[in-house]
Amino acid sequence: MIGVGGIGLSAIARVLAARGIQVTGCDMGASELTRSLAAAGIPVTVGHGAGHLEGVELVVVSSAIPESNSEVVAARRAGIPVVHRRELLALMMRGVDGIAVAGTAGKTTTSAMVAHILVELGHDPTYIVGGLSPDLHGNAAAGQSRWFVLEADEYDHAFEDLQPYVGLVTNIEMDHPDCFADIAAVRAAFAVFMAHVRADGWLVVGADSPEARRAVAEADPAARVVWFGEAGDADCRMSDVQSRRGGGVAFRWTHREHGTMPVALQVPGAHNALNATAAMAATTCCGVDPAAAAEALGRFQGVARRFEIKGERDGVMVVDDYAHHPTKIRATLAAARARYPERRIVALFQPHTYSRTAALLDEFAVCFDDADLVRLVDIFPARPSERATISSRELAAAVQHGDVAYVGDLQRASERLREELRPGDLLITLGAGNGFLVGESFLAGREVSP
């Protein structure tokens, strides 16, 4: 598995190894994920080289691996099959009842919630989730039941080969402009995913997302459609959302057939109430008692890098969140404001990819309202092939906020925040890159190394 240190391939590696398949992998650098794979008995080599193919019968690559990769080139010359992650996942889902969770926002937490419900209620699912969850003891497991929970990624059209029993779409918005030209292209990809949900299965869709509604109309799916959300015509409705004292969120969940019941979560924010609404809708389609699902979700602790409380030092609380899309940033900051209304919220944002920053500039400009201070660091390029078409300095000039500033790289951001932070503040690091290092360094009493 080339790029096995990524969150996606590392999860697949664990499931395959647990099923008795001999798995090896490589990546450009060592990480916590590669070290945990090695500890689980999956050999991981740092670096790339044709010598890694000895005894190999199949090579698996992610979207990040180019055709010029030395192992890919050597495998093709040797006649060893090379498959994309999307092809392998489609093969793994054959013969089982898949629950594929897709959407622009919320799919990691929602898929973790679905897996958590099934695990807690003794259904022993296989699951592959795009984030580490303490409830699930990681991001993957090979269960023995018919259920297979999968976080389905739209990037590079990766989810289009799946044929799940339950297809769940949280919402659809413009994202991944390096892959999709416009929202119509994004919607078309989701329509393909929706159309491939099994005819005897269920399509669970966010009723509050206009683009998701349009995608259902375009897909004309054979599966039964269940709508969830706050909309009046939703089959599963969320209402009366309230922050809980001490953290978390509570709401009322109403199903056309199962009635109304209270749900109380440990994780904060209306967006997590919506994620839970979706997870309960999906598992209800699978025959799970929704009251039991609600009780299980009350024990759900969340996913790493999703409003993860990292610690506190000198009266400053540090939280990290993976939010890198304007909608996710807005929801995360709203959750922070609701949970900690007495604290000054300092948002440190590291934009992720030049293409997303440029394409969604107008949306980024108005997503920081719930922060008191906004500090922007240099863009995390993520993909070496991208050209630097925009800068965080330009983003700072566009952001409509009373106290926004561009602060340079992570080291300079660390120095700046050391001067600005004061007791009672909440520092929240936002982004899909390595900006979380600033928060971790603050807690450790040191600056980020250059």
Give the residue numbers marked as catalytic.
107-108, 151
Task: Provide the Cα torsion 353, 359, 363, 365; round to 10°.
Answer: 70
Query: How many of the other CB atoms lie within 10 Å of CB of 57?
Result: 9
Beta bridge partners of 312: 317
Q: Quick one: angle between helices 7-18 and 32-39, nearest 10?
A: 10
Chain-centre distance for alpha carbon 418 = 30
One-letter amino acid for residue 371 of the chain: A
**In a 3-state reduction of DSSP, which class is residue 192?**
helix
Pairing of strands 44-46, 59-61: unpaired
Q: Which of 285, 238, 358, 301 is nearest to 98 (CA)?
A: 285
Q: Which of 131, 168, 40, 147 is nearest to 98 (CA)?
A: 147
Q: Which residues contact 114 (CB under 8 A, 6 or more apart)?
A: 99, 101, 149, 168, 279, 282, 283
- Measured CA to CA, the distance from residue 250 to residue 231 in angstroms comes to 18
One-letter amino acid for residue 143 of the chain: G
Residue 52 · residue 28 · CB < 8 Å = no
One-letter amino acid for residue 5 of the chain: G
Query: How many of the other CB atoms lie within 10 Å of CB of 44?
Result: 22
| Burial status of residue 384 (CB atoms within 10 A of its CB: 0-12, 13-18, 19 or more) | exposed
Q: Which of 157, 184, 187, 147 is nearest to 169 (CA)?
A: 187
Residue 448 · residue 438 · CB < 8 Å = yes
